[in-house]
Chains A and B, each alone.
Chain A
Amino acid sequence: MNSGREVIDGRLTVEGFSVAARAFADKWKTHNQSLPPWSWVPLINRTLLLSNQQEEGYLSLENILILSSLEESTEDESLNVATECSEKEEPVDHTILVQNQENEAHYYDFHIVYSASYKVPVLYFRGYCSGGQPLSLDVIKKDLPSCSVSLLLQSKWTFITQEEHPYLNRPWFKLHPCGTEDWIKLLSQSSISAGCQMPVELYLVSWFSVVGQVVGLRIPLEMLN
């Protein structure tokens, strides 16, 4: 019988997700101290006034300043570089709103949510300025690593869509989970060939080592041990 502590066919039970999430948060806290820790948000069903018996929830990492937007700001301070960028990259005038968004600091919230449909974790995120104004997808794409943008154009499984956050009733961006199980299977097969089954505690670490790069969050190698 499946106790939920093993990864089978790249999929995760809801209990397995809880175990993997806490393991991931602990490892992150130990090995990634330059960034704030992930926190577990328990799913207390607001309108039903009761928490589910299974103690479900999701992982949250919020108010993350993305370095690439700061780098852009730094470059803008240099008059020569700004002029050069202006000539190359802006043949058409941007609206004032877009220009303001580009020059302000950009903050991001990340949530790792379990999908009961696909039985895999899903990354939701949103971007906003220091005043709380949401960023458009065009602006967000400029904050993404350049390899992610080309990934967006090429890969089916990793495209980003704007969807409703499953628990917050608000539009968020979502990394589509359609192909997750296939490449997790590949990762776990490589650990099987190394002589061990992938324990559920390593699922989210492995998953995030791929998914996190799409949004510019890398994890140190020690987390994978």
Chain B
Amino acid sequence: MANEAVKYVWEGAIPLQIHLHKSDVASHPAPPPALVLAPRIGYLPLLIPLIKPYFKDSLPPGEDSIWFDYKGVPLKWYIPTGVLFDLLCAEPERPWNLTVHFRGYPSNILIPCEGEDSVKWNFVNSLKEAQYIINGNCKNVMNMSQSDQEDLWTSVMNGDLDAYTKLSPKLKMATIEDDFSRKASLSSPQSRQGVTETDVAGQVKTARIPVRLYVRSINQDFKNLEDVPEIDTWDDISYLNRPVEFLREEGKCFTLRNAIESLLPEFIGDRAQTSGEERSRDDDNTEEADGLLREMGEIKLARIQGIEMKLEIPFSWVVNNLMNPEFYLHISVLVKAPQR
């Protein structure tokens, strides 16, 4: 029961319709697009063994690095495919129409990619960084045997959750207690004594959680996702690679909203809208400071693994169930910008 969500995350997939860019079409007529079901937790370059044979007969001679774009925006291969989709499609597009290129790599925008090896080392480096955040050092990744490291990567490439589950204890990542499982064990009379011990140990405990936050900011208000303008460049997105300091206080629930607000302090005022008194106080402060009535920014949408999250969900549940295999929580956020 508790592990069901993780299974769904690992099975998550996005239907892609991959078109060959017209400058790469050397046959007549142009080939039909390739239909591919891409794992959410995977990476676009891992699809090349499927795509390249499909388009082989249509390509002109010569070779360069392969890359993808969505409506003219080159896709960052080092961001998991599911995160790219959540981030770039405000209104989910199914199938997701991508364009594949076999030459003209935009090296001023994308870091180089030399196939599967580049993706693997990107994954391992993210894993090291995550372990440093969680444990305070990355020794367990560094000390992993070559074959274990290889097997771990293979399990991610193949979407093999069982193999991954067997290997990940070797990383010895510190875990945080899930509020849900605590309540579940509380209802069981057999574990009453154990729970008491946990209560004492866990009264005040700080954890650092690896989070990568992708923020899309819109100036005008909007009611429907279809009204959100399309992204022109990566400069339209703010990217924060910053851990969340997770302070577990007894009797207090640290929510997803708390986590996002700790990374985006300018949106803490979002809560004021639920209380007239607080709102009034904020308005007074703003008038004194700026001489203008300041309209609060608003978190319109938070997406993790394709799910539009309720912000009041316990952050510990989100972490334990929706993390990517490299132990990063990727959060896509759509905000209405604060106005001055």
Complex Cα distance, B297 from A49, in Å, reads: 11
Chain B stretch 177-216: residues in CB contact (< 8 A) with chain A: 210, 215-216
Shortest beta-carbon distance from A219 to chain B in Å: 28
Partner of A171, one of B108, B215, B338: B108
A47 with B243, Cβ < 8 A, contacts A118-B132, A171-B111 known: no
Residues of chain B with a CB closer than 8 A to A199's CB:
none
**B285: interface (CB < 8 Å):** no
When each residue 144-173 of chain A gets 1 if its CB lies under 8 Å from chain B and 0 otherwise, what string results? 000000000000000001111010011100
Complex Cα distance, B264 from A118, in Å, reads: 20
**B72: interface (CB < 8 Å):** no
A47 with B215, Cβ < 8 A, contacts A116-B241, A117-B241 known: yes
**A134: interface (CB < 8 Å):** yes
How many residues of chain B get a CB closer than 8 Å to chain A's CBs?
A: 35
Decide if B217 touches A48 in the complex (CB within 8 Å): yes
A117 with B129, Cβ < 8 A, contacts A46-B238, A163-B111 known: yes
Sorted nearest first, the 6 A-B pairs with minimum C-beta distance are A47-B217, A116-B242, A171-B111, A169-B234, A47-B238, A50-B266
When each residue 258-279 of chain B gets 1 if its CB lies under 8 Å from chain A and 0 otherwise, what string results? 0000001110000000000000
**A41: interface (CB < 8 Å):** no
**A53: interface (CB < 8 Å):** yes
Residues of chain B with a CB closer than 8 A to A166's CB:
239, 241
Decide if B266 touches A48 in the complex (CB within 8 Å): yes
Decide if A162 touches B111 in the complex (CB within 8 Å): yes
Complex Cα distance, B243 from A178, in Å, reads: 16
Which residue of chain B is the closest to A172 with respect to CB atoms?
A: B111
Partner of A46, one of B210, B235, B241: B235
Decide if A49 touches B338 in the complex (CB within 8 Å): yes
Complex Cα distance, B78 from A164, in Å, reads: 10
Known contacts A48-B266, A178-B128, then 8 further A-B pairs from the complex at CB < 8 Å, ordered by chain A residue: A48-B337, A117-B132, A117-B133, A117-B210, A163-B111, A164-B78, A169-B235, A170-B108
Shortest beta-carbon distance from B51 to chain A in Å: 24
Shortest beta-carbon distance from A13 to chain B in Å: 12
A117 with B243, Cβ < 8 A, contacts A50-B266, A171-B111 known: yes
Residues of chain B with a CB closer than 8 A to A52's CB:
265-266
Shortest beta-carbon distance from A212 to chain B in Å: 24
Shortest beta-carbon distance from B88 to chain A in Å: 14
How many residues of chain A get a CB closer than 8 Å to chain B's CBs?
A: 21
Complex Cα distance, B236 from A47, in Å, reads: 6
Residues of chain B with a CB closer than 8 A to A163's CB:
111
A residues with CB within 8 A of B? 45-50, 52-53, 116-118, 134, 161-164, 166, 169-171, 178
Which residue of chain B is the closest to A49 with respect to CB atoms?
A: B337
**B5: interface (CB < 8 Å):** no
When each residue 208-250 of chain B gets 1 if its CB lies under 8 Å from chain A and 0 otherwise, what string results? 0010000111000000000000000011111101110000000
Residues of chain B with a CB closer than 8 A to A53's CB:
265-266
Complex Cα distance, B108 from A199, in Å, reads: 39
**B60: interface (CB < 8 Å):** no
Complex Cα distance, B307 from A171, in Å, reads: 31
Shortest beta-carbon distance from A85 to chain B in Å: 29
Chain B stretch 78-128: residues in CB contact (< 8 A) with chain A: 78, 107-112, 125, 128
**B253: interface (CB < 8 Å):** no
**B138: interface (CB < 8 Å):** yes
Decide if A48 touches B215 in the complex (CB within 8 Å): yes
Shortest beta-carbon distance from B213 to chain A in Å: 11
Shortest beta-carbon distance from B231 to chain A in Å: 11
Residues of chain A with a CB closer than 8 A to B301's CB:
none
Decide if A50 touches B338 in the complex (CB within 8 Å): yes
Shortest beta-carbon distance from A79 to chain B in Å: 35
Complex Cα distance, B243 from A50, in Å, reads: 21
Residues of chain B with a CB closer than 8 A to A117's CB:
129, 132-133, 210, 241-243
Chain B stretch 289-340: residues in CB contact (< 8 A) with chain A: 297, 335, 337-338, 340
Which residue of chain A is the closest to B335 with respect to CB atoms?
A: A48
Chain B stretch 133-180: residues in CB contact (< 8 A) with chain A: 133, 138
Shortest beta-carbon distance from B141 to chain A in Å: 10
Residues of chain B with a CB closer than 8 A to A164's CB:
76, 78, 111
Decide if B236 touches A116 in the complex (CB within 8 Å): no
Shortest beta-carbon distance from B44 to chain A in Å: 16
Complex Cα distance, B235 from A170, in Å, reads: 10
Complex Cα distance, B267 from A181, in Å, reads: 33
Shortest beta-carbon distance from B217 to chain A in Å: 4
Shortest beta-carbon distance from A11 to chain B in Å: 9
Partner of A134, one of B108, B239, B335: B108
Q: List 29 A-B contacts (CB under 8 A).
A: A46-B235, A46-B238, A47-B215, A47-B236, A47-B237, A48-B217, A48-B264, A48-B297, A49-B217, A49-B337, A49-B340, A50-B266, A50-B338, A52-B265, A53-B265, A53-B266, A116-B241, A117-B132, A117-B241, A117-B243, A118-B132, A161-B125, A166-B239, A169-B109, A170-B109, A171-B109, A171-B110, A178-B128, A178-B138
Complex Cα distance, B133 from A25, in Å, reads: 29
Shortest beta-carbon distance from B222 to chain A in Å: 16
